Amino acid sequence: MESNAGIQSPVQKPVNRSRGSASLYRKLLAQRYLQVMALLGVAWMILFHYIPMYGIILAFKQYIGIGDVAKAPWAGWEHFQAIFEDELLLQVIKNTLGISLLKLIIGFPIPIIFALFLNELRSLKFNRIVQTISYLPHFLSWVILGGILTAWLSDVGIVNDVLMGLGFIKEPIFYLAEPGYFWTIVISSDIWKEFGWSAIIYIAAIASISPELYEAATIDGAGRFQRMWYVTLPCIKGTISILFILAISGVLNSNFDQILVLKNQLNESASSVIDIYVYEVGIKSGRFSYSTAVGLVKGIIAFILLLLANSVTKRMNQSSLF
């Protein structure tokens, strides 16, 4: 038998922890400005998103807005039962889903189409002018735009003047006083305000596509529309999928600011959405616990929609948030 006396077992070198710590310290020092910016973002997230989650317990308490929340008596599931017993809830849900789904169906593809055509413009100067004009409305608050739309859509506004001048209508219409026009006004004005700003993300994604792909497609005889369909769209499908997931998760949001400035007592049957319902029934009436319960239910449903949309897009094109 051969002796194993001469065979030495391999000895692992000790890990130099001080060297690793020094390397990490140098990296953090080199990135100190980026780290500070990141920490500010984390602090903002904790301060305005995580700490307020303590208020969720209001949904299970009988709180009247006075005194310590922790000392308020427990109400159990009373407020959640009240939600489903409210006769106004069905109309509120109908308005919320109707406005949000139409915004999703009509409004979601428009920034994509706009970015695709903007990418095909040959003049860089004209491209920048069009892009700047398109996203300027984003920087105007809904308080300002609401006042503008109210003036335009009044019975003596410019819209009535134009339509009567062209012979489409015979008498002026106060559009914001008609519930039948409210959804159209809300959806079209929201698209007009946000489509240019939303297109920036798609424009950035298109800019990262290799020019060699377009050159190869051109050599193969592909025209502009074929390059958009077979090159541009497949390359940005990941971006489209992620934004679509986020849009699905926010389908219960109907843009509170916009509807608040455009609603009135005459169009209330079409303008009562969940956010307005929470504000008027919960906050203005002092039913803080009830409004918290409505918000909690809304958040749970939004989280479920997020998981479902993420799962579907992951199976369809292997693109997802997680």
pLDDT tens figures, 27-68: 888 888 898 999 999 999 999 989 988 888 888 988 877 777
10-residue stretch averages of pLDDT, the chain, 322 residues long: 47 56 82 90 92 88 80 87 85 91 92 91 86 90 92 90 89 90 94 92 91 88 87 90 89 87 90 89 83 89 88 79 74
Based on the domain organization, do 174 and 245 belong to the same domain?
Answer: yes
Q: What is the 3-state secondary structure (H, E, C) of 183-242?
A: HHHHHHHHHHHHHHHHHHHHHHHHHCCCHHHHHHHHHCCCCHHHHHHHHHHHHCHHHHHH
Instruction: Tell whether 268 is covered by a domain.
Output: yes
CA–chain centroid gap for 175, Å, is 28
Structural domains of the chain, count: 2
Same domain, yes or no: 81 and 46: no
By residue range, what is the domain housing residue 311? Answer: 76-317
Do 104 and 249 share a domain, yes or no? yes
Pair (38, 164) in one structural domain: no
Q: Are residues 106 and 53 in the same domain?
A: no
Domain boundary among 60, 91, 111: 60
> Residue 125, by phi and psi: left (phi above 0), alpha (psi -120 to 50) or beta?
alpha
Are residues 55 and 152 part of one domain?
no
